[in-house]
């Protein structure tokens, strides 16, 4: 079943019409998880996007990632002409997260920066 069809069926179950479901998908494609194909270059992802790589093998073929071959979630938020990318490893016990920014003026990417987190302590 295609992603669009899955999305429409999901929204229909919520009681929303098909036309509205299709309109939402057309205007907010980042709501649907998309697999990043083998050999892709993350520098080419500058528009709103949500997806990733579900396998370490696939991840190892993707260019301009911040870490070695590890499956990941990937999100891009476009802000004006610029973009911010977020990557989160799919490691269950020790996930890691990075971010970087694309500046259209100058066509420049910043380096990936790891976002450091701490284990929450119960109150």
Q: Are 83 and 102 in contact (CB under 8 A)?
A: yes
Categorize the per-residue pLDDT at 14 as very low, low, confident or very high, splitting at 50, 70 and 90: low
Pairing mode of beta strands 34-35, 49-53? parallel
Whether residues 14 and 69 share a domain: the answer is: no
Structurally, the chain folds into a number of domains equal to: 2
Whether residues 16 and 74 share a domain: the answer is: no
Whether residues 28 and 86 share a domain: the answer is: no
* Domain assignment present for 123: no
Whether residues 59 and 42 share a domain: the answer is: yes
* Domain assignment present for 121: no
Tokens 């911010």 appear where?
Answer: 84
CA distances from 11 to 7, 31, 117 (A): 6, 12, 34
Whether residues 20 and 43 share a domain: the answer is: no
pLDDT at 96: 86
Whether residues 28 and 61 share a domain: the answer is: no
Whether residues 107 and 69 share a domain: the answer is: yes
pLDDT at 17: 54
Q: Residue 66 sits in which domain range?
A: 33-111
Whether residues 80 and 105 share a domain: the answer is: yes
What letters, b where the CB count within 10 A reaches 16 and e where it falls short, cover 48-75?
ebbbbbeeeebbeebeebbeeebbbbbb
Whether residues 42 and 25 share a domain: the answer is: no
Whether residues 19 and 64 share a domain: the answer is: no
d(CA 54, CA 52): 7
CA distances from 53 to 89, 108, 112 (A): 9, 24, 18
> For 44-93, how does the pLDDT look when each residue is reduced to its tens digit (9 = 90+)?
999 988 889 988 888 899 999 998 768 898 999 999 999 999 998 887 77
């Amino acid at each position: 079943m295609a992603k669009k069809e899955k999305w429409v069926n999901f929204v229909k179950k919520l009681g929303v019409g098909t036309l509205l479901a299709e309109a939402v998908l057309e205007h907010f494609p980042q709501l649907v998880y998309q697999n990043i194909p083998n050999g892709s270059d993350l520098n080419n992802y500058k528009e709103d996007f949500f997806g990733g790589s579900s396998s370490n093998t696939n991840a190892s073929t993707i260019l301009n990632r911040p870490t070695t071959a590890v499956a990941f979630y990937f999100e891009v938020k476009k802000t004006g002409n610029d973009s911010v990318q977020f990557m989160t490893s799919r490691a269950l016990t020790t996930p890691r997260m990075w971010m970087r920014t694309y500046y259209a003026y100058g066509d420049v990417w910043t380096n990936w920066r790891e976002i450091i987190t701490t284990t929450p302590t119960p109150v």
